[in-house]
Amino acid sequence: MQNTALKQDHKAVFFNAMKMSLKGPGPFQAAFWLVLILMTAFMLTLVGGLFLYGEWSAFLKVLQQPEFHYAMTFTLWTTLLSTMLAGMVAVPCGFILSRHNFPGKILVDTLIDIPIVLPPLVSGVALLILFGPVLGDALTRLGLDIVFSIRGVIVAQWFIATPFAVRTFKQAFDSIDPRLEKIARTLGYTPSEVFFKVTVPMAKKGLLGGLTMAWARTLGEFGATAMLAGIIRMKTETLAVAVFLNMSIGDMNFAMATSIIMLFLAMFLLAVFKTISRLEARA
Amino acid sequence: MLEARFTKKLWHFTLDIRINLGTEILVLWGPSGAGKTTILHCLAGLSSPGGGLIKLGDTVLYSSEERINVNTRFRNVGYLFQDYALFPHLTVRQNVLYGVKCKRKKDHDLPGKNPLELLEPFGVSHLIDRYPTQLSGGEKQRVALARALAVQPQLLLLDEPFSALDRNIKENLRQEIKKLHRKWKIPFVLVTHDEEDAGFLGDKIISLEKGRSSDTPLQTISEAASGLTQSMP
């Protein structure tokens, strides 16, 4: 008796589900789907437009120009260097912010976050004032000029990327059970061994993801670089600066080609990031 | 073996504990929030007491008078957590050998016995190349035990070791821990809120109520526990 009732119940549930799927989503869900589809179409058109507008032959010609070569190599090595520097600062900052409580922590946390909310142009102005009027003379005497120099590019990129790295690293460290670190200590590990043999391997994916995102930030960095290092052809000319520079003098082909290359770089980094976070989800 | 008397200020009260233990099993029994885990942390050196003395064998681990506070990694204390805390990125073998490698490097006198043999009496030696996510709760806890014992501790601390386990697994593991204790002949300090655990394992029982400890006569608790067992169908 009971069994058949149960069976009927199952049948009812099954048919209800069938009806639902035949009817399709209700108007509320349909509206949400519509927005998602429109947004996807918009993004596709946007990216497609960039490709379709330029000419293939002009694109190849730009790739052979020395200015493009300079901007490409200059961007790669400066962004890699500034990302590494950002990572080196972010590891201790992120770890302390994740594991310890101290008076004024909220204040420190907020201070480090400032470049995230500050418009990059304003960051650039602040950096310009710090390394110009405030510290400029001392730096010149040491031969370490920052303003309007290649060093300025690296400083600007580092400044924009570091808070991102600190934030993501802190999250990576937060996600590790501190008990695992305690266990390692009872097993005889020193604090540095615990950090490098337990904390870092376990946070590895989060750290790599954070570095990728920080790198993406430095690749696109324009505002702070323009303010601190200036827009100087073949000197402080990153890819982003090259787009602006050539757009402003009317060399559309150059600007378009560089934009497309930057789009590829960004998509590549996004793919790397997604792969890393998918690995994390599976582990 | 283990002699400890110390105080520790907590949120709402001050913990005041006295332990005098040979090679028996001491059960710290009480509701959550009574400071049981804090006591284990103080014994392991994971947090510092407010004042007092902790002595294991002839070694002073902590003394507020002599300003001694031995670092966790030199204390030779095994620690077992409620939810096993196995390193998720390592296999069972790597987990068990994790502490041994570190000790071998620093202290070459460590007996060369294969620590992986520890897995055998627990019946988990066939799982040696698996990752913790591929193990059941009971298997994880046995691996965690082997890892804690692999470094030859002189004191084993067990923090609610059964509370994440199913009833029958829990009963088996309780037996195994008792056997293990007879074999190793070192003091065990076990924290639990379960009367049955306390009655079955405790040679000595300290019951804690908001930091105040009282040496509950073993009789009452084991009576309570046996009463419980009998009432179980």
List the domains of chain B with CATH numbers: 2-76+154-231 (3.40.50.300), 90-153 (no CATH)
CB atoms B72 and A183 under 8 Å:
no
- Asked if residue B140 lies in contact with residue B172, where contact means CB atoms within 8 angstroms, the answer is no
pTM of the entire predicted model: 0.78
Res B224: pLDDT: 45
Reported as a single tens digit per residue, the pLDDT across B82-91 is 888 888 888 8
Residue in B79, B83, B89 nearest the CB of A186: B79
pLDDT in tens, A49-71: 888 877 788 888 888 889 999 99
B135-145 pLDDT per residue, tens: 888 888 889 88
CA closest to B78 among chain A residues: A186
Is any Cβ of chain A less than 8 angstroms from the Cβ of B151?
yes
Query: Quick check: B24 pLDDT over 80?
Result: yes
pLDDT at position B194: 84
Question: Searching chain B, which residue's CA lies closest to the CA of residue A199?
Answer: B87
pLDDT in tens, A136-162: 888 888 888 888 888 999 999 999 999
The pLDDT of residue A80: 94
Find the range with the poorest average confidence among B111-115, B131-135, B157-161, B193-197.
Answer: B111-115
DSSP H or E run through B145:
helix B137-150
Residue range(s) of every CATH 1.10.3720.10 domain in chain A: 56-282
Rounded-to-integer distance, Cα A172 and Cα A188, Å: 24
Query: Strand B188-192 to strand B155-159: parallel, antiparallel, or no bridges (unpaired)?
Result: parallel
What are the beta bridge partners of residue B62? B54, B69
pLDDT surpassing 60 at residue A46:
yes
What pLDDT digit, counting tens, does each position of B53-103 carry?
999 888 899 988 888 888 888 888 999 988 888 888 888 988 888 877 766
- What confidence category does residue A17 fall into, taking pLDDT thresholds of 50, 70 and 90? low
Averaged confidence pLDDT in chain A: 86
Local structure of residue A234 (DSSP, 8 states): T
Q: Residue B8 above 90 pLDDT?
A: no
Contact A214, A83 (CB under 8 A): yes
Distance between A283 CA and the closest CA of chain B, angstroms: 8
Three-state SS for B205?
strand
The predicted structure's pLDDT at residue A14: 56
User: CB–CB of B89 and A188 under 8 A?
Assistant: no
Contact B40, B157 (CB under 8 A): yes
pLDDT in tens, A203-243: 988 999 899 989 999 998 999 999 998 888 888 889 999 99
What one-character-per-residue DSSP string does B175-194 give? HHHHHHHHHH-S-EEEEES-
Residue type (1 letter), B22? G
Query: Where does the pLDDT of residue A200 fall: very low under 50, low under 70, confident under 90, or very high at 90 and above?
Result: very high
Contacts B81 to A, Cβ<8 Å: 179, 183
Q: Is 1.10.3720.10 the CATH classification of the domain at A56-282?
A: yes
